[in-house]
A and B are shown apart, each in its own frame.
Chain A
Amino acid sequence: MTLQAYLTVAALLFCIGLFGVITRRNTIGILLGVELMLNAVNINLVAFARYLADVSGMVFTVFTICITVAEVALGLALVILIFRIRQTAVADHLDLLRG
Chain B
Amino acid sequence: MAASGVFALWAWLAPALSFLLLSLVVPLRRSGRPAAWLSIVLSAGALVSAIAAWHATVAGMARRMLWEWIPVEDGVLTSVGILVDADAARMLILVALISFLVQVYSLGYLSDEPPPSLGRYYAYQSLFAFSMMGLVLAPNFVQLFICWELVGLCSYLLIGYWYTRPEAARAAVKAFWITKTGDVGFLIGIVMLWSRTGTFDFSELFEMAKGGSDILAGLGLITFCIYLGAAGKSAQFPFHVWLPDAMEGPTPVSALIHAATMVTAGVYLLFRTAFLFEQTPEVLAAVGWIGAFTALLAATLACVQTDIKRVLAYSTVSQLGYMMAAIGAGFSSAGFLHLLTHGVFKALLFLAAGAVIHAVGTNDIFAMGGLARRMPQTFTVFLIGTLSLAGIPFFAGFVSKEEILGATWAGGLTIPFAMLVLCALLTAFYMFRVVFVTFLGQPAGSHAGGHAGDHGDHPHDAPVIMSLPLWILAALAMVIGVGFAVWHPEAEVEAPRWLTPLAVGVALAGIVLAWLVYGLRVISAAWLSRLLWVLGEAAEERFWLDDLFALIYRRAILGFSLMVGWVDRYIVDGVLNALSAWTLMAGDRLRRIQSGQAQDYVYGIALGVLLLMVWMRWPR
Contacts and interface: CB of A to CB of B under 8 A. Distances in A.
A30 B597 CA distance: 12
Contact of B596 (A18, A23, A30, A98): A98
B531 interface: no
A30 B606 contact: no
B602 A21 contact: yes
B591 A99 contact: yes
A22 B599 contact: yes
12 contacts: A18-B602, A18-B606, A30-B598, A91-B599, A95-B597, A96-B596, A97-B594, A98-B594, A98-B596, A99-B591, A99-B594, A99-B596
Nearest to A96: B596
B599 A99 contact: no
A65 interface: no
Interface string B12-35: 000000000000000000000000
Interface string B584-612: 00000001111111110011001000000
A30 B599 contact: yes
Contacts of B602: 18, 21-22
Contacts of A97: 594, 596
Nearest to B593: A99
A94 interface: yes
Contacts of B596: 94-99
A22 B600 CA distance: 7
Nearest 3 CB-CB pairs, A to B? A99-B594, A98-B596, A95-B596
A46 B206 CA distance: 99
Interface residues of A, number: 13
A22 B599 CA distance: 5
A97 B594 CA distance: 8
Contact of B595 (A18, A22, A95): A95
Interface in A82-99: 91-92, 94-99
Contacts of B598: 30, 91, 94
B351 to A, nearest CB: 77
A96 B599 CA distance: 13
Nearest to A91: B599
Contacts of A21: 599, 602
Nearest to A24: B599
Interface residues of B, number: 12
Interface string B183-221: 000000000000000000000000000000000000000
Interface in A41-99: 91-92, 94-99
Contacts of B603: 22
B177 to A, nearest CB: 55
Contact of B606 (A22, A91, A96, A98): A22
A98 B606 CA distance: 20
Nearest to B588: A99
A94 B592 CA distance: 16
A27 B592 CA distance: 23
A91 B591 CA distance: 20
A23 B591 CA distance: 23
Nearest to A15: B606
A97 B602 CA distance: 14
A99 B592 contact: yes
A22 B595 CA distance: 14
B599 to A, nearest CB: 5
Contacts of B594: 97-99
A3 B597 CA distance: 37
B368 to A, nearest CB: 81
Given A22-B603, A91-B599, 14 more contacts: A18-B602, A18-B606, A21-B599, A30-B598, A30-B599, A94-B597, A95-B596, A96-B596, A97-B594, A97-B596, A98-B595, A99-B591, A99-B593, A99-B596
A23 B597 CA distance: 12
Contacts of A30: 598-599
A2 B594 CA distance: 44
A22 B605 CA distance: 11
Interface in B12-70: none
Nearest to A25: B599
A94 B595 CA distance: 10
Contacts of A95: 595-597
A51 B595 CA distance: 43
Contacts of B593: 99
A97 B598 CA distance: 9
B597 to A, nearest CB: 6
Interface in B443-460: none
A52 to B, nearest CB: 23
Interface in B556-608: 591-599, 602-603, 606
Contacts of A99: 591-596
A98 B600 CA distance: 11
A30 B603 CA distance: 13
B414 to A, nearest CB: 88
Contacts of A23: 599
A94 B603 CA distance: 16
Contacts of B591: 99
Interface in B338-378: none
A57 to B, nearest CB: 22
Interface string A1-38: 00000000000000000100111000000100000000
Contacts of A18: 602, 606
B606 A92 contact: no
Contacts of B599: 21-23, 30, 91
A99 B591 CA distance: 5
A22 B591 CA distance: 21
A23 to B, nearest CB: 8
Nearest to B609: A18
Contacts of A92: 597
B592 A91 contact: no
A92 B596 CA distance: 9
B402 to A, nearest CB: 91
A96 B602 CA distance: 16
Contacts of A22: 599, 602-603, 606
A40 to B, nearest CB: 14
Nearest to A33: B602
> Which among B591, B593, B598 has the highest number of chain A CB atoms within 10 Å?
B598
Contacts of A98: 594-597
